[in-house]
A and B are shown apart, each in its own frame.
Chain A
């Protein structure tokens, strides 16, 4: 299985897209840190990149990679190997390359310029989001045989998590603004990994505002050791659940 993952990695490295991605992250992060005199402002801009670009890149790259290596996968299936192993090694190869690109591109500058809780939270969230959206992309790619359809679905999913979901939360909060919605909001936020990651970083960053009237409750929950465990557990669930669904579909699929 590791051998297979290695082949996938070689293949990915040869296409150079992942190297360009790492370079892009590196240039942006370095320039943010050197342009802004205030390091927390740079982190703030980086937050938007982590929350928007990384899920998008992970999804698009994974789906395209899957379709491109479709023939290779078909070849492998002819060998005496379990389907699960094949998909997992594909996942391993893609996930490792994306996470490595993130750490070399964004991780190194953050460690150099902002080695503090906020920076660490940022790297944690970035890593989790990469893994989560890779899993989600596998679901769409395995499900749709057609390339255009698969990429379209991936984009739609990204759009939903990055933007539409927050709009829905806002709408719900407006509609029920006469009711105590704090606890419900907590549950709603946990259902979107991007929101969860954002809150996790925000707690380190905007602590003063969060200590306000409503924020105190969020802080109390997400800020405690229990809350951090909760965040990690939900993130893990978001990585594992889609991957299991993709595995099931791949096993049963008539390829």
Chain B
């Protein structure tokens, strides 16, 4: 009897499932093919017809239909060669909704407006929107996201036409977002490659940001974010992170950020953060820190920078541990005698000490600040005397009898061999 009963109830369950599926049928996802050669020739019309859950496939061709708005939970897929043209006067795609996906479309010539931040793709008040594998060319702002949660921007290629700082927008711009994922994008020719303001709990990974006229990555008031394995190359002023806490930056490459005010990484008012396993290569200043506290700077490589690290006296509690310094013109510079940061077990290629007990760390402490770097900090025009005999003598004399350089800026256990991690 028990057997029959259970069999009966299972049957009922299957029947119920079947019936409910029947009812669901009319509202289940449809696929709408829009564009040249199809019954729905324009994207505007397709967007009107679409319901929640539908997929629109945009056929190959160039569409000049002004601004499109997506409010429904749909998927918009571009076939190879599907181009949306903003004719230099429209914002191309405006999205405001949830569970929307835009994939594989080429956006060209989005308009410029001094009043509105026109973008090729703009997301306002969104949740769980995915922007994937699109190409944006010649836009004011390329991808602009505001007041949205859990959105993903992945595999897009963005290239702008750099004009002046005022006339060029940011590549990927996020304002007041949380849980965003910016992954594997390539951004070039914009004002800031990636711009974050009031963005929390987000991840930026595997992006390449190069040749932007201001910063490769710029973020402010953005807490608890992760930046991993990105490359920031040859941007006007490098990367700037400001007024944030609990930031983690690992495995990034900062290279060839050259210029009068260019930094590999500019830290301003950053606290309780981790900077780990990054590579700083040929920057005017590898890291420039101002008013930053309790940052762990570990296992980074500083190679061939003008200044590897410039720590202003307003920084405290920062820890430089097991980093490698190779071929930098100046290893460390500071602007005062107050030092509240620690240097420990770093490898310095300029270290001239010895290791008698063979424990891998030098027996005499290393002072990474040379007298000349203090002089240059005070009187920048003395840079013309770099590498002169006079400066070498001065540095040697200062090393024997320290008087000007901060005495407690010292690595007590400098490594004899580069740290490998």
Contact = CB atoms under 8 A, between A and B. Distances in A.
**Is B truly associated with A?**
yes
Interface of A: 38, 40-41, 44, 47-48, 51-52, 162-163, 166-167, 169-170, 173-174, 177, 181-182, 185-186, 189, 195, 198-199, 201-202, 205-216, 218
Given A195-B388, A208-B283, A38 B327 contact: yes
27 contacts: A40-B327, A51-B389, A162-B389, A163-B389, A163-B390, A174-B379, A177-B381, A185-B384, A189-B384, A201-B387, A206-B329, A206-B387, A208-B282, A208-B304, A208-B305, A209-B329, A209-B330, A209-B386, A210-B383, A211-B258, A211-B259, A211-B262, A212-B260, A212-B306, A212-B307, A212-B383, A216-B259
Nearest to A209: B306
Contacts of A218: 383-384
Contacts of A199: 384
Contact of A166 (B282, B305, B326, B385): B385
Interface in B358-380: 375, 378-380
B349 interface: yes
Contact of A41 (B285, B307, B330, B349): B349
B306 A182 contact: no
Contacts of B282: 207-208
A167 B304 contact: no
Interface in B204-252: none
B201 to A, nearest CB: 35
A208 B326 contact: no
A211 B284 contact: yes
Contacts of B306: 206, 208-212, 215
Nearest to A222: B384
A231 B238 CA distance: 32
A13 B353 CA distance: 42
B388 A213 contact: no
A133 to B, nearest CB: 15
Contact of A208 (B284, B380, B382): B284
Given A211-B284, A214-B380, A166 B259 contact: no
Nearest to B330: A209
A166 B381 contact: no
B39 interface: no
B387 A47 contact: yes
A174 to B, nearest CB: 6
Contact of A202 (B258, B304, B380, B387): B387
B408 interface: no
B381 A173 contact: yes
B225 to A, nearest CB: 28
List 5 tightest A-B contacts by C-beta distance, closest first.
A209-B306, A166-B390, A209-B329, A208-B306, A211-B258
Contacts of B388: 51, 166, 195, 198
B392 interface: yes
Nearest to A164: B390
B403 interface: no
B-side interface size class? 35 or more
Contacts of B375: 170
B260 A216 contact: yes
A189 B383 CA distance: 12
A38 B380 contact: no
Interface of B: 258-262, 282-285, 304-307, 326-330, 349, 375, 378-393
Contacts of B389: 48, 51-52, 162-163, 166
Contacts of B349: 38, 41
A62 B305 CA distance: 41
A175 B379 CA distance: 10
Contacts of A211: 258-260, 262, 284, 306
A167 B328 CA distance: 24
Contacts of B380: 212-214
Contact of A182 (B261, B283, B381): B381
**Among B305, B378, B389, residue most surrounded by chain A Cβ atoms (within 10 Å):** B389
**Among B283, B378, B388, residue most surrounded by chain A Cβ atoms (within 10 Å):** B388
B284 A212 contact: yes
B327 A169 contact: no
A169 B389 CA distance: 13
B387 A177 contact: no
A50 to B, nearest CB: 11
A38 B325 CA distance: 13
Contacts of A201: 387
Contacts of A38: 326-327, 349
Contacts of A162: 389
A199 to B, nearest CB: 7
A169 B261 contact: no
A92 to B, nearest CB: 30
A208 B329 contact: yes
B326 to A, nearest CB: 7
**Among B283, B383, B386, residue most surrounded by chain A Cβ atoms (within 10 Å):** B383
A62 B273 CA distance: 62
Contacts of B390: 163, 166-167, 170
A230 B188 CA distance: 37
B392 A48 contact: yes
A169 B385 contact: yes
Contacts of B385: 166, 169-170
Contacts of A174: 379
Given A209-B329, A211-B259, 15 more contacts: A51-B389, A52-B389, A163-B393, A170-B382, A177-B378, A177-B379, A189-B384, A195-B384, A198-B388, A202-B387, A208-B304, A208-B306, A211-B262, A214-B380, A218-B383
